[in-house]
Each structure stands twice: as structure tokens, then as C-alpha cells.
Structure 1
Amino acid sequence: MFGPFERMVAWRYLRARKGERFVSITAAFSLLGIALGVAALIIVMAVMNGFRQDLVGRIIGLNGHLTVHPASGRALPDHEALVERLRSLPGVTQAAPTVEGQVLLTGEGGGAAGGLVRGIEPGDLEARRVVARGIRRGRLDDFGPEDTAVVGIRLAAKMGLRLGDRITLVLPQARGSDFSAAPKQRGFRVVAMFDAGMPEYDGRQVYIPLEAAQSFFGLGEAVSQVELFVADPSQVAPVTEAVRAALAGQPLRIADWQGANSSIYAAVVVERNVMFLILTLIVLVAAFNIISSLTMLVKDKGRDIAILRTMGASSGAILRIFLLCGATVGCGGTLIGFALGLGIATNFDGLRAALLALEGTPLFRPELLFLTQMPAVVEPREVVSVLLMGLGLSLLATLYPSWRAARIDPAQALRHG
């Protein structure tokens, strides 16, 4: 497409020579601008992907991907047969019966707080990796006897709890007649403390054995709900439909994690799209810089263009010369930004550790400490789309100045040059 003559002239125009350094410096800044824009777009998209994946993983790692509730009331009887049926469905990896309820918590030191108690089997709790990997004090193996409890580390700090202390659960519901009404309470020994990295859970969550929760809340052999985990949380919709079909006609209510956390999920998606739009504008501004620098080059080389035309160069050759000049700046900057952004995104963990060590002080408050552990996830389709967008904008930016260069009248240029 580009002949030796056109490549030679384009290269001479791009080189900085005496008296022409301003145009070349402008082209260099245009290249740097589009490189930084593309690199920033790739890095921020990778970080946003990592943030979304980490946040969603923490939320659904604690609550399950699907939840089956009773349509009315708070008890789900005959849950053993229901659990076995749900475990046999394709895509379901775990079905855990649980009991859930709001209580008042009191500690030995006099601390009190509201909390969310969840009764669960020890094996099902161990299968929840967010809790199992987040144990900071104690051992999850000690959870099992009816008087044991696993609490969030921020809740323990707020109530002044230590391992081995007893925490009392108070259920402020009347028992008996109006004159004999009294709250129900029961004590549990704290055997472990977990840190899920989210204050909403670490500051109010308490796990107790399933049988103890059934007895405490007066459910007998029933449970509050059955939580399901699927192989691919992003593809939860087909499994939801399969569960609905399997439980059709039964007085049950089914909710998936996307519906239960729709506001959080939507906010993350909107923020990601807005960041993509903002950073795309940076690349667009860099593309306009290419237009301005190439327009200045055309104006500066007007007499040279006229001489080339009188020596036999066609308007198509002039067009291709300036297309090559603009493409060298734009596409070169895009490729440099692609390499820089991909290099930083794929080595984000090491660079983050170096930045934290250099800073010497925490970048985030303890409530947002999980941000310092947030991964960067590079999605190939996004990187390719950013690369193609950068190349496309760079090529589009060269069209108008190149067309103007090809339309220069040699006689007019020589007369006014």
C-alpha cells in the first residue's frame, strides 16, 4: 500500500530538523497522549474487573448463589428431601440448609450489639471459602458442638470478645402470657473469628450449629432456608430456571444473588461503564491532538507538497504520505500504550506491593482494607476492543489532514509559499 518513496518522505517529515522541531514535538506529545490514554484504559478496566470479581465473590461466598425460602411463614419443613432433590440438579455444587434470625448479642464484658445469627452444619461452613480462608483467630475445626460460635472479627472487637469467651444470644420475643413474657436467651462459646473483608458481615455475623439454631428459634426440625451454590455464579440464571421447574407447584420462593444484590451489582457495572467512557474521552482527545499536529505538518510542508506535485507525485501519493505520518504517530502510540497497560495490569500485584512498601503507611482505612488485596483481572476481549478502538481512532484522525494535503493546488502553494 505504501511505496518506498512514500515511506521515505513520511519519515523525513516526522524527523525533527532545525527550524521544524515544534511540529515534531507536537507529534511526540500526541503519541505520548494516546499511549497514556490506552494504557490507562486497559489498567483501569482490569482493576474494575478485579474489584467486581472480588466484591461479588465475597458477597455470594457468604450468602449462596441461590436461596429457597418458604412462600409464607418462616419455617421450611421436610428440608432433608428438598436438599437431596436440589443437590441432584445439574449445575448445583452445594445445597446447605440454614436457619437465620436477628438477635441481640451480649458479651461477658458487658458489650451489646445487634447481630445476624445463622445456624449451619460445620461441613457446610467449612465449604464457604470466604469464611474458611478468613479465619484470623481460633480454628474452624472446633466449631460443631452445640455451644460453639464463630463470630466476625469486627463484631468481636466491638463487644470486647476473646477466644473462649461466652456470647449470649437474646431473642426479644415474648414467651407465655402477657404477664410471664420474657426474652429467650442462650450462651455460646466463641471458638473462631473470621474476617471476610466486608464490615457489613464482619460487624454483625454469628455462626452457630444448625441444631442449636433450630432449638433456639423454636423451629423444631425445620429450617429457614436452603442455600445453593452453583459451578459458575455468572451463569446462575439457567440454574434458577431449573430449580423453579423442579420445585414447580410447591409453596416456595426462589431468589438468586443477582436479584438479591441488584443495587450493588448495578452500581459496580454502572461505575465500570462510566470509567470506560471517561477514559475513552482521553483517547479521543489524544486523537484530536493527532489531527492538530498533522494539520500543522501539512501547513508547514505546503511548499514541499507543491514541489512534489510538480515533479510528478500524484495526489494519491501525497495522501498516503500523510496517512503514513499520522498512522505512525497514532498506531505507534496505541501499541506502546497497549504494551504498557498490559504489562502493568498483568503485574499489578507486584507493583501494588512495591507501592505499599514505598508509601510506608496504609492507603486505605481498615474498613476498606480488602482494596489493598484486590486483584487486576485482564479480560482478553476488553483489551482487544481497546486496542482496536485506539487504532481506529488513530486512523480516522489522519483522514481529514491527509485529504487536505492531497487537495493542495501546487500553483497556489508556490505563489503564496
Structure 2
Amino acid sequence: MFTLRVALRYLFSKKTHSAVNVISLISVTGVALASMAIVCVLSVFNGFTDLASDKISQLSPDLRIEPVRGKAIANADSLCSVVANVEGVMTAAPTIEERALAIYGPHQMPVTLKGVTSDYDILTGIRDIVKDDGDFLLTEDDLGDFATLSVGAAISLEAHPGFEQQLMLYAPKRTGRINPANPASSFRADSLLVGGVFQVEQPEYDTDLILVPIDVTRKLLDYTTEATALEIKSDDNIESTASRLREALGPDFKVKNRMAQQEESFRMIAIEKWITFLLLAFILIIASFNVISTLSMLVIEKDDNIRTLYSLGASRNTIARIFLLEGWLISLLGGVIGIIAGVILSLAQQWGGFIKLGGNHDAMSIDTYPVRVEWIDLLAVLALVALIGWLTSTVTSIFTRRQLNRKRA
């Protein structure tokens, strides 16, 4: 307690030599700026995570059921009826995803074909992301079946909503023999009109996804009641509904929420966030090196005080511990100031949006950097500052002890 009180007095007292005051101010400022930068960068990553989650939620259901083994769920329609009776499930529908070849006029490309039911617009926000020149359509009695294309597929195929030309879809036959003399007989084909084009601004969806009626997909793949997944709209308590579904379905099925459905994407964002955190931690370490020079100057500055403490019976370890705590307090002071400044800047950006994104804002869904402050990030930064400050002060204390030994001698 005595060493802490003395260290606090040294920290806030005015120094005799102005150079010591300047060096101390530089040390605190360096740690504060590095801490502020870490808080701001982590908050921006949190903002982009929220943005990705909001965009994904427009085309991802609340919950998705997939088989643990194999690709398809047998008797998916029957299972869907069972799932619909589970408490918390508002709507359940089968879906089928498979690779196929799409041809529109002279253009062709491999696509991800997704067969959906008429409840798909209830399960997701598909209608909110369809371009104004089209609509989400599956089947019209007088016109036949429709496909809704992602913006990437529409651009590659140069397709657009209308009745002038049909979209051709080809998928390899799952059963039967292949005739080498007639390769075309190895494919099943169907034709649809283009009803609309959607854009999620997520490459997982925007690159090559095409939504079609599930009956068309089953015909192309020679399915009857099979599906590759069941998609579910839940009430507000999604996790409770997921737990009940896991209990009802058993170990043969996986129940995924929105985050789990895009686990790889969110994992990459988290990895980038914490790698950036580590890189900025090195900057904080470099900034903390100023503490070494501050303590060295402070030992010279407090020479008379050190002699007085020796005369009063203080040991070398006690005096060295004073300067160790002094260095740690300098780091903590800079860290706390930086964290507060980082939170203020992040909240100002969150509410005011004064830092804009580059590029054409008319083509973007947002034009400012998204931010969100998390308490766990602030605690991580504070713990990092405390650790680096303690390590720096410990290293510096070795130099301080040598100086004290020479003074004692």
C-alpha cells in the first residue's frame, strides 16, 4: 500500500525538470492513441458483423434442418408435417439445393439451383431484395413456372425479367444409364421464365443462386418427396424452438440458426478481427517502450527522494517496486484514456456517421462505416494494456535496480 501511494504521488505530481513532464506525457499519449485505435477498429468489425447478419437474415430462415449423414432427407414432406407441430414453429417448408447448368440465349453458366415452396417469402425477406423491375414468382396458372435469379447469375447470363425468352436448366440424371452416343440424354431439362432478380450483397447468395419451384427441382433430380433441408420460421424465442426441434428429431439431424448457417463467413470475420487486434497490440507494445525512458528519467528526477527513503529504512526492493508500479500506472492511465476516447469516437460514428465509405454511394446499401461497441472488446483492450504495462515495467525495474545499486554504493 505504501509503494502504491508513493507511485500515485509521483504519477500526478509536477516534475522539477520539464523534460520529464514531456516524456511522461508522450508515454501516456502513445498508449492512449494505440488503445483508442484498437477500440475503434474492433468496433468497426462488430459493425460489419452486424451488417452481414442483417443482410443474411433477408435470405436465411430462422432455423434450418439438415441431415447428419447423406445429402437428402427421405420423406421430407412427412417430416415437415411433424416439425410444423413443434412448439415455436410458425412455418416449415422443404428446400432442395443442387448444382445445375443454366442457359439463357447464347449465354450459359453453372449455377446453384434452389427449389423452394410458396412459403419461401414467409420464411425469408426475399421480396424486400428483389429489384423493382421484377417480383418473386414461382408459378402462374396461365404462364407456367418462374425463376428468380441472383444479381450475379442475371449479369452473367444477361437475363432480365420478362416473357421474351426462357431460361433453360439442365441437371445430370441421378439414375439410369448414360448413352455415350447421345450425351444430351444424360441430362434432364426444364424451361422457366425469369420473374425477378434479387441482390443480398453477400457473395454466397449473389454469385450464382437461382430460386425455382421445388417441383421443378424434384423433376430435374428425379426426386419425389426428398429434400436437402427443411427451413423454418420460428417465433421470437428461436433458441428454445431449436432446442425442442433437436429433442424431437434426435441425433440424425442438425438444427442450425442463422449464424450456424453461415458459420464459415462469420468465422472469417472473427479471425480477421482478432488478427487485427494482435497487429495493433504490437503497436501498443512499441508505444509502451516510452515508459522505459520515462522511468529512467524519473529515477534521476527523484534522486533526493530515493536517498530520503533509504534513510528512513526503505529497502532497494521497496523502492524498485515503487517505480514498477509507476510504469504500470502510466500504461493504465493511457489505456483508460484511450478506451474512453475510442468509445466516444465509436458512439459518435454510430449515431452521426461522419466517416464515409469510399466508392459510389448510390450503389451501396450503406455509405458510412458501421460500428458497434462491445464490452468484451473493452475488457480485452484493458487487459492487454495492463499486461503490456506490467511486462514493460518489470523489464524496466531490472534497469532501475541497477541504478539504485549504484546510488546505494
Partner of 1:155: 153
Partner of 1:138: 133
Separation in 2, partners of 1:320, 1:71: 62
Partner of 2:248: 246
Distance change (3 Å), C-alpha of 1:138 and 1:123? farther
Distance change (3 Å), C-alpha of 1:101 and 1:9? closer
Partner of 1:275: 276
Separation in 2, partners of 1:9, 1:267: 46
Q: Deviations over 1:329-351 (max 9, x none)?
A: 32331122111211232333567
Distance change (3 Å), C-alpha of 1:260 and 1:5? closer
Separation in 1, partners of 2:88, 2:286: 47
Partner of 2:110: 114
Query: Which among 191, 206, 213 is matched to residue 202 of structure 1?
Result: 206
Partner of 1:23: 20
Separation in 2, partners of 1:215, 1:6: 79
Distance change (3 Å), C-alpha of 1:55 and 1:5? closer
- Structure 1 position 309, deviation (Å): 5.6
- Structure 1 position 151, deviation (Å): 1.0
Partner of 1:377: 372
Distance change (3 Å), C-alpha of 1:330 and 1:406? same
Distance change (3 Å), C-alpha of 1:218 and 1:240? same
Partner of 1:82: 79
Aligned pair 1:105/2:106, yes or no? no
- Structure 1 position 206, deviation (Å): 1.1
Aligned pair 1:291/2:287, yes or no? no
Q: Secondary structure at the match of 1:197?
A: coil
Compute the TM-score of the two structures, normalised by the length of structure 2. 0.75
Q: Secondary structure at the match of 2:20?
A: helix
Distance change (3 Å), C-alpha of 1:162 and 1:374? farther
- Structure 1 position 89, deviation (Å): 3.5
Separation in 1, partners of 2:221, 2:300: 83
Please identify, of 93-102 and 175-184, the stretch whose mean Cα deviation from structure 2 is larger: 175-184
- Structure 1 position 31, deviation (Å): 0.9
Partner of 2:342: 341
Partner of 1:171: 170
Contact 1:305 1:405 in 2 (8 A): no
Separation in 2, partners of 1:313, 1:349: 56
Letter in 2 for 1:38: S
Contact 1:69 1:226 in 2 (8 A): no
Separation in 2, partners of 1:198, 1:135: 14
Distance change (3 Å), C-alpha of 1:242 and 1:6? closer
Please identify, of 65-74 and 374-383, the stretch whose mean Cα deviation from structure 2 is larger: 65-74
Partner of 1:68: 66
Identity %: 21
Contact 1:115 1:204 in 2 (8 A): yes
- Structure 1 position 159, deviation (Å): 1.6
Q: Deviations over 1:167-191 (max 9, x none)?
A: 4232244699847864443332323
- Structure 1 position 390, deviation (Å): 2.6
Query: Which among 119, 140, 156 is matched to residue 123 of structure 1?
Result: 119
Distance change (3 Å), C-alpha of 1:218 and 1:70? farther
Contact 1:126 1:132 in 2 (8 A): no
Separation in 1, partners of 2:194, 2:304: 86
Separation in 2, partners of 1:405, 1:101: 69
Contact 1:70 1:76 in 2 (8 A): no
Please identify, of 141-150 and 28-37, the stretch whose mean Cα deviation from structure 2 is larger: 141-150
Letter in 1 for 2:26: F
Q: Secondary structure at the match of 1:190?
A: strand
Partner of 1:48: 45
Q: Secondary structure at the match of 1:147?
A: strand
Distance change (3 Å), C-alpha of 1:70 and 1:305? closer
Contact 1:6 1:321 in 2 (8 A): yes
Letter in 1 for 2:147: A
Separation in 2, partners of 1:111, 1:167: 12
Q: Deviations over 1:134-161 (max 9, x none)?
A: 3233354655535222111122122222
Distance change (3 Å), C-alpha of 1:31 and 1:248? closer
Q: Secondary structure at the match of 1:377?
A: coil
Separation in 2, partners of 1:34, 1:69: 51
Separation in 1, partners of 2:25, 2:90: 55
Partner of 2:385: 390
Separation in 2, partners of 1:402, 1:73: 63
Distance change (3 Å), C-alpha of 1:275 and 1:72? closer
Separation in 2, partners of 1:107, 1:291: 69
Separation in 2, partners of 1:69, 1:308: 74
Contact 1:306 1:409 in 2 (8 A): no
